[in-house]
Amino acid sequence: MEIDKQHHITVEVKTDYVEGQSEPESERYVFSYTITIRNEGGEPAQLLSRHWLITDAYGNIQEVKGEGVVGEQPHLKPGEGFQYTSGAMITTPVGSMQGSYQMVTDNGDEFDAEIPPFTLAIPRTLH
């Protein structure tokens, strides 16, 4: 869990391998990730956009940018959280993701809430 030091936005991540959508013989590994964003600060803030770097075991990087998350731009009052689930596809059984959410407070202060690196891995590939 990472905390944006000034604005106190926390980001928690849980990942799962989606075996039913994966095709290892075609180098297609699908993962879902559930993110919980929480405003632990004293000021309301809205998530405007996201920026992801998705890296496979070969070091190939997919960059993803876009508005909001799962079609929403949640506005979080102090103490509120927002949870969503999305997915990523990589060509190796192990990879990683990291990134940031571009946020804005109600008074117009823009900032990035960092998403620390997390691992994507099929079960029993990491010890």
Taking domain 2-116, whether its CATH number is 1.10.3720.10 is answered by: no
Q: Which two tokens stand for residue 24?
A: 């290892």
Q: Is the pLDDT of residue 3 over 90?
A: no
Write out pLDDT tens, residues 24-77: 999 999 999 999 999 999 999 999 999 999 999 999 999 999 999 999 999 999
Return all residues near 15 (Cβ < 8 A) that are at least 6 apart. Answer: 31, 32, 33, 34, 118, 119, 120, 121
